[in-house]
Chains A and B, each alone.
Chain A
Amino acid sequence: MPESTNRTGHALPPGAKTLRFRFNGKTYTGLQGDTLASALLANGIHFVGRSFKYHRPRGIFSAGSEEPNAIVETGTGGYAAPNVRATEVELYDGLEARSQNCWPSLSFDMLGINSLISRFIPAGFYYKTFMWPRSFWLKYEHYIRQSAGMGECPSQPDAEGYEKHHRHCDVLIAGAGPAGLAAALVAGRSGARVILVDEHPYTGGQLNDRRNSPATDNWLQQVTTELAMLPNVSLMLRTTLSGYYDHNFCTLLEKVSDHLPPAERQDCRQRLWKVRAKQVIIASGAFERPLVFADNDRPGIMLASAVRNYINRYGVLPAQQLCVFTNNDSAYQTALDAQATGAQVKVIDLRLKPDTPDANSLPGLAQAAGIQIHWNSAVSAVHGKTQVKGVTVHQLSDDGRNIQGPGIRLDCQCIAASGGWTPNVSLFSQARGKLRFDEEQQHFMPDRGVAINPNISAGACNGRFDLAGCISEGESAAFLTLDALKISASKQPVTQPPADPEDQPVHLAPRILWAVPCDHPIGEGPKKHFHELQNDSTAADIALAAREGFHSVEHLKRYTTTGMGTDQGKTSNVNALALMAEYRRLPIAAVGTTRFRQPYTPVTFGAIAGKDLQNLFAPKRHTAIQPWHDRHGAVMEDAGGWRRPRYYQQYPGESMHDAVQRECAQVRKTAGMVDASTLGKIDIQGKDAAEFLERIYTNRWHTLAVGQCRYGLMLNEQGMVIDDGVTSRIGEHHFHMTTTTGGAARVYQLLEDYRQTEWPELDVYLTSVTEQWSVISLSGPSAEAIMQPLTSQPVNAADFPDMSWQAMDIAGVPARVFRISFSGEAGYEINVPTRYGQAIWEKIWQQGQAFGCVAYGTESIHLLRAEMGFIIVGQDSDGTNTPLDLGMQWIVASDKADFVGKRGLQRNVFSQSNRKQLVGLMPEDASQILPEGAQVVLPGAIQSNDKGIGHVTSGYFSSTLESGFAMAMVAGGRQRKGDTLEVMLLSGETVRVTVTGTRFLDMQPKAAQQEAS
């Protein structure tokens, strides 16, 4: 096992537990509190991955969520996670991690060849080639796809679970650095409901980059403790404000157990919080900006602040020999801290040597500490491919555009680079905020927000970089926020930490060289200047984009893919824009910026899905009779949100065809019963109930007597059939409407719309009673004989005629019985309160046994009703059919003043005789079942390449008819009765059919249509 070579000492808590982990198959040790990245660096490992396009070796670049390079895969089996930032993985005992996007291994990657041919594959090269031969694209693409992509999708289902929660708060604060802490303290002390989130497992933000200092450490500890004690403040660590949506709706991703060994994890891996915040304070800090110099992607090249963070937070010195390359003062803090830890440090500063050096400035202190500073100099070459071995340093020309003089070589294993600082404006931008470019500090910062998303930015994300300033900005942001919330602010001031020797004024104003020169013109030699590491986008690519006309920032982004990596351009964004501005000779503000999109860091799909999977994916609506169905071999299906028996298997393995034929034959012979509880049911009451129905349905309702039932057809305003069902008059001002199963919710909402907004003058009230009634439909020649013993009232046709209803006791239970049928046989629809549903079903079932009564499902419903020529809305009609198309003109009372759809129907096109009309089809070969959906064509159409003239809507085999039969929508169909047509099968064969009416079973004309699907 390799020794931890780079551990310097004491940054992690003394006595931190030693942890073992594996990386690319080798075992290493780290300490409790490490990230995977810090542990790897402690073991002297910089080279951890390969880049996206050129497959160049890449190392750990940052210390946080902005990491573009060190993307690895962790875990195995159901715990495997691809595309994880090593800088964010908290080390645990037994952690497994692997490099990705390399084959066969990290050190020998076949696709490293892409790096050798990189000259031929600049940005957008694929638009210019792979076009010949035309048919070869899929083959080219196969190899492109193999070489692209990053991690592998896990092959096992997720072993862990997720949760989602809603929360409300007064103030949501993003970032627990000095500004966020100060804001939370003020808001918390004032009694506001505060949520303070930070993506790290600790508070303090960039205070963690600093050398241990009792002054600031105490301050941080006191503030954190006070916040933890305040009952109205939720301090949520390991939690990222990932999405800032409208009306201050924010999503927080909390990593609950990712930092634990799998054996210690709880049920919930991650939790997604959906927070509606009255106000938001953004205190998301700043990113250090990389320098764009020759081969600036080699493992060992890091952000200066990251190096400092590894030294001071983790006690890990990334290398013994370190070059700091900077254009501003802040990196000198890294130089000083590294030097203090025993490293050999040299500084290469792009800036000119100040005429009067200030001994108290950071460079002055560095010089006093014996650190060699190369002023007005640049790193012009980096040596080492899989690990930095040294740099060549050159003096810069006066204008900074060229190097000059002899170069000197410095040995180092790490380059700590700083190009200045970029406020993290992602969340502000997500919240629709507009940015402006600050010329002095050379960065974008928040300018103008929008009213629907009230927020305030404070601290470094607002361009404020000094500690005292961040704390006071946090305070004032809280005051403004409390003011907006009308909460009186606590008078207690936030204590500033006492002065710290580290708090030297930091001159951040950088010397701007957006691309640092080397020994050949940028883009015209072997060295590459990357501005975007993950997607391998170089300064030359931006020059190419500018040359080729991709001037818009969005074009630039899309053409060069800059900012499209998993880090979403957190560190690359400004450099890319600035380079474009430079090539186009425009101010950066004129080039503009892209909008940052949600999420801030990638969000696990499992967390977005939460527990809404499998049985919780969608409610399963069961009727009260479900247990009986389960016991009797029902094969269930999903229909309109419900679970319904499709057919009943009398014995295991009975085919659907056999079951349906058996069920239907028995209904025609004696009796059958079906659970029709899923029908939509709407209770309609009020003085104007009849008038309301008169307007909703196409036919007449004033004339319906109490105790009578009537079939109704419902249209939309265009005149198209959208629903049907039987409605019964319960009392003078009381109706019971039924709808199709699938249409119930839609119809109910539609009726409410008309009632409330179109005809508010009507005295009518609607109540959905679908779930209040269990409906048992009993029909067949023996239905009456089965029914009569169950009730004291006569149920024969004379006393209880078709299309009427009666209240009666059934087996002692009060019921509404409707004398209607959808099968064509004598039928009763028995409605009982749902709680009696199963009991009454069983009573009827027992009565029916002497008659061989069967239970039947939806398939038999469909066949039985089709034999009668009754339509199913949604199967025989599809939302584009008028009543006339369906042969149901008889139900349209054209002389009514108005009804929904009346005006729509009056358009001429709907009376044209060539419209598709519902007809019956009988195959010449009676054994044929015409497939639903099959095209109907004129005889010989296949040979003459004619189009279809219609399609089969319902097709079955009927034992009663001893033939296949079908319903179909056929152009001008009613005039074709008796004609021979053909139905085309997918095999290309055709079946000859005769056009008929739709009354396939000419039994005594029975009532109505009901029980639609």
Chain B
Amino acid sequence: MILPAAKCGACNMQRYSLFNLIRQSLGYHRGWQSNWRTPAPKDHYDIVIVGGGGHGLATAYYLAKKHGINRVAVIEKGWLGGGNTGRNTTIVRSNYLYDESSALFEHAMQLWEGLSQELNYNVMFSQRGLMHLAHNEHDLHEITRRCHAIRMNGIDSELLTPRQIKQRVPMINLNARFPVLGALYQGRAGTARHDAVAWGYARGADALGVDIIQNCEVLGFDIQNNEVRGVHTTQGLIRADKVGCVAAGNSSVLAAKAGLKLPLESATLQAFVSEPLKPMLDSVVTSNTVHCYVSQSDKGELVIGGSSDPYNSYSQRGGFDQIEHVVGPMVELYPVISRLKMMRQWGGTVDLAPDRSPILGESAVSNLYFNCGWGTGGFKAPPGSGDLFADSLANDRMHPILQPFGLERFTSGELIDEGAAAGVAH
């Protein structure tokens, strides 16, 4: 028995709901449709997005949804969400120091807050709160400054005392070698299910007519008179009026194919999980001073990360020394985890910009746009990045929130230096 699918409004997307889940259960789930088609590339699109991660798929989704542009293809050299979207530690926050960053990440945060409903796909966005620990006077100075600045931008932010931290994170050792003196806390921050973000946007975009083409690698750009006309791919030439490259760690490689250099360096960022445990940690806790951050997934694994490996690499592999640099502080801060075990580790290729802020804008080649440089913090923004990038591509000008994030800042000197101000930005 294959049940007819309940459709979703105007598009032909099967609606997800408890009712439909039960209904499909009766038919042993044989009635569920594919989340996306497997189309052959068309000859020409209005816009081609290179990169099928969260940012690229979100861009395509909003182009179709908000701007009615559905002659759009997303070209992915591997599998959807196979880059950093599927390799991060799923942390979402919007508490950045500078006004420009606040505007961008808070825009993303507000979209996150309704994303499951928007996509009719549960991305498990869980606003369980995030704290940045301070371990010395300099840290306290730094988080206090940020707390004030963030509040000034209307974003929730508070300072926690060690006692308040201990209440939220009972397993923490306040008297570690570098004691816990306080924390910057954002209650609306939290985690989301990373794969679901790619899948939800892909399903939504596909239903709106976007062609998602996996296993299709870009080999070069068709550029005439300094204007991009299409992309050469492993599935042939795909013509396009505009091309948006949203390829994270591989952005420099794409840029080189267009004869461009970007202010980016690609490095490996590792992460790992423990074996699954019963609930033991509600908040996300990060520490810049000792470089570790941790949350507990819904499956029960502790999801742990630190800073990126020190050298440029595209290998998606890092060294064990970096793991040691993260586990040491973890055990020092949370001594009860000593007998727990690291179950699986992995690495992603992050695209680090000199000021640790993303880069969104048109390149020196007309109609060739880049959305990159998200570095270690890309998962905080796919909804906002996609929405604003789509708006910019649709209207042939950068959205006001994105204007400070263009490539020009590296010539003018107007950096948005979250890196200088905060060390690493997780």
Q: A353 interface residue, CB < 8 Å from B?
A: no
| Cβ-defined contact, A548 with B32, below 8 A | yes
Q: A113 interface residue, CB < 8 Å from B?
A: no
**Which of the listed residues A149, A566, A602, A951 has the most CB atoms from chain B within 10 Å of its own CB?**
A149
Q: A449 interface residue, CB < 8 Å from B?
A: no
Q: B153 interface residue, CB < 8 Å from A?
A: yes
> 1/0 contact trace for A139-150 toward B, CB 8 Å?
001001110111
Assuming the contacts A245-B320, A986-B159, asked whether A606 and B114 have C-beta atoms less than 8 A apart, the reply is no
| Cβ-defined contact, A568 with B149, below 8 A | no
Give CA–CA (A544, B32) in the complex, Å: 8
The total of Cβ contacts below 8 Å across the A-B interface reads 310
Q: A82 interface residue, CB < 8 Å from B?
A: yes
Q: B314 interface residue, CB < 8 Å from A?
A: no
Q: A230 interface residue, CB < 8 Å from B?
A: no
Give CA–CA (A246, B315) in the complex, Å: 11
| Cβ-defined contact, A127 with B196, below 8 A | yes
> 1/0 contact trace for A544-571 toward B, CB 8 Å?
1001111110110011010010101000
- A524 — which chain B residues lie within 8 A by C-beta? 28, 30
Give CA–CA (A168, B381) in the complex, Å: 45
Give CA–CA (A879, B420) in the complex, Å: 5
Q: Which of B144, B146, B151, B278 contacts A151 (CB 8 A)?
A: B278
- A610 — which chain B residues lie within 8 A by C-beta? 328
Give CA–CA (A856, B228) in the complex, Å: 66
| Cβ-defined contact, A251 with B320, below 8 A | yes
Give CA–CA (A153, B125) in the complex, Å: 25
Distance (whole angstroms) from the CB of B98 to the closest CB of chain A: 9
Q: B141 interface residue, CB < 8 Å from A?
A: yes
Q: A226 interface residue, CB < 8 Å from B?
A: no
Closest residue on chain B to residue A79 by CB atoms: B339
Among the stretches A310-318, A407-415, A902-910, the one at the interface with B is: A902-910
Q: A975 interface residue, CB < 8 Å from B?
A: no
| Cβ-defined contact, A138 with B124, below 8 A | no
- B279 — which chain A residues lie within 8 A by C-beta? 145-146, 149
Q: A972 interface residue, CB < 8 Å from B?
A: no
Assuming the contacts A149-B299, A618-B177, asked whether A52 and B122 have C-beta atoms less than 8 A apart, the reply is no
Assuming the contacts A609-B332, A984-B148, asked whether A151 and B320 have C-beta atoms less than 8 A apart, the reply is no
Distance (whole angstroms) from the CB of A171 to the closest CB of chain B: 20
- A274 — which chain B residues lie within 8 A by C-beta? 320
In the complex, which residues 133-191 of chain B have their Cβ closer than 8 Å to any Cβ of chain A?
135-138, 141-149, 151-153, 158-159, 171, 176-178
Q: B46 interface residue, CB < 8 Å from A?
A: no
Distance (whole angstroms) from the CB of A252 to the closest CB of chain B: 12
- B35 — which chain A residues lie within 8 A by C-beta? 548-550
Assuming the contacts A548-B34, A907-B413, asked whether A120 and B141 have C-beta atoms less than 8 A apart, the reply is no
Q: B274 interface residue, CB < 8 Å from A?
A: yes
Closest residue on chain A to residue B195 by CB atoms: A558
- A552 — which chain B residues lie within 8 A by C-beta? 78-80, 82, 214
- A137 — which chain B residues lie within 8 A by C-beta? 116, 122, 124-126
| Cβ-defined contact, A604 with B276, below 8 A | no
Q: A599 interface residue, CB < 8 Å from B?
A: yes
Among the stretches B67-75, B216-224, B343-351, the one at the interface with A is: B343-351
> 1/0 contact trace for A151-166 toward B, CB 8 Å?
1111111100000000
In the complex, which residues 934-982 of chain A have their Cβ closer than 8 Å to any Cβ of chain B?
934-935, 937, 947-948, 951
Give CA–CA (A858, B138) in the complex, Å: 12
Give CA–CA (A21, B345) in the complex, Å: 35
Assuming the contacts A131-B122, A604-B341, A879-B421, asked whether A547 and B214 have C-beta atoms less than 8 A apart, the reply is no
Closest residue on chain B to residue A145 by CB atoms: B279
A: interface residue count bin: 35 or more
Assuming the contacts A148-B300, A150-B277, A875-B141, asked whether A568 and B343 have C-beta atoms less than 8 A apart, the reply is yes
Q: B338 interface residue, CB < 8 Å from A?
A: yes
| Cβ-defined contact, A986 with B335, below 8 A | no
B side interface size, CB within 8 A: 103
Closest residue on chain A to residue B128 by CB atoms: A138
Distance (whole angstroms) from the CB of A508 to the closest CB of chain B: 30
Q: A806 interface residue, CB < 8 Å from B?
A: no
Q: B280 interface residue, CB < 8 Å from A?
A: yes
Distance (whole angstroms) from the CB of A678 to the closest CB of chain B: 14
Assuming the contacts A82-B340, A129-B18, asked whether A249 and B320 have C-beta atoms less than 8 A apart, the reply is yes
Give CA–CA (A880, B193) in the complex, Å: 35
- A540 — which chain B residues lie within 8 A by C-beta? 28-29
- B16 — which chain A residues lie within 8 A by C-beta? 127-129, 131
Q: A605 interface residue, CB < 8 Å from B?
A: yes
Q: B111 interface residue, CB < 8 Å from A?
A: no
Q: A4 interface residue, CB < 8 Å from B?
A: no
Q: A890 interface residue, CB < 8 Å from B?
A: no
Q: Which of B29, B126, B319, B332 contacts A617 (CB 8 A)?
A: B332
Q: A615 interface residue, CB < 8 Å from B?
A: yes
Q: A833 interface residue, CB < 8 Å from B?
A: no
Q: B414 interface residue, CB < 8 Å from A?
A: yes
Closest residue on chain A to residue B16 by CB atoms: A128
Q: A718 interface residue, CB < 8 Å from B?
A: yes
| Cβ-defined contact, A119 with B25, below 8 A | yes
Closest residue on chain A to residue B28 by CB atoms: A524
- B193 — which chain A residues lie within 8 A by C-beta? 127
Q: A878 interface residue, CB < 8 Å from B?
A: yes
Give CA–CA (A951, B146) in the complex, Å: 10
- A763 — which chain B residues lie within 8 A by C-beta? none
Q: Which of B25, B274, B345 contacts A597 (CB 8 A)?
A: B345
Give CA–CA (A904, B412) in the complex, Å: 10
| Cβ-defined contact, B21 with A125, below 8 A | yes
Give CA–CA (A324, B326) in the complex, Å: 47
Q: B288 interface residue, CB < 8 Å from A?
A: no
Give CA–CA (A683, B343) in the complex, Å: 49
Give CA–CA (A962, B51) in the complex, Å: 62
Distance (whole angstroms) from the CB of B291 to the closest CB of chain A: 12
| Cβ-defined contact, A555 with B79, below 8 A | yes
- B364 — which chain A residues lie within 8 A by C-beta? none
**Which of the listed residues A132, A245, A605, A951 has the most CB atoms from chain B within 10 Å of its own CB?**
A605
> 1/0 contact trace for B14-44 toward A, CB 8 Å?
0011101110010011101111101000000
Assuming the contacts A547-B34, A613-B332, A932-B141, asked whether A127 and B121 have C-beta atoms less than 8 A apart, the reply is yes
Q: B53 interface residue, CB < 8 Å from A?
A: no
Q: A122 interface residue, CB < 8 Å from B?
A: yes
- A566 — which chain B residues lie within 8 A by C-beta? 275-276, 343
Q: A3 interface residue, CB < 8 Å from B?
A: no
| Cβ-defined contact, B319 with A874, below 8 A | no
| Cβ-defined contact, A152 with B278, below 8 A | yes
- A604 — which chain B residues lie within 8 A by C-beta? 338-342
Distance (whole angstroms) from the CB of B336 to the closest CB of chain A: 5
- B176 — which chain A residues lie within 8 A by C-beta? 614, 617
| Cβ-defined contact, B319 with A605, below 8 A | no
Q: List 11 A-B contacts (CB under 8 A).
A: A122-B25, A138-B127, A149-B276, A153-B340, A243-B320, A598-B320, A604-B341, A719-B413, A933-B142, A933-B147, A935-B152
Residues of chain B touching chain A, judged by Cβ–Cβ distance below 8 Å, are 16-18, 20-22, 25, 28-30, 32-36, 38, 78-80, 82, 86, 99, 114, 116-117, 120-122, 124-128, 135-138, 141-149, 151-153, 158-159, 171, 176-178, 193, 195-196, 199-200, 214, 274-280, 296, 298-300, 315, 317, 319-320, 323-324, 327-332, 335-346, 412-415, 417, 420-421
Besides A83-B277, A120-B22, A720-B420, 6 other CB < 8 A contacts?
Answer: A138-B127, A141-B124, A602-B342, A608-B327, A638-B135, A907-B413
The 6 A-B residue pairs with the shortest CB-CB distance, nearest first, are: A149-B300, A879-B420, A933-B145, A602-B341, A933-B144, A606-B338
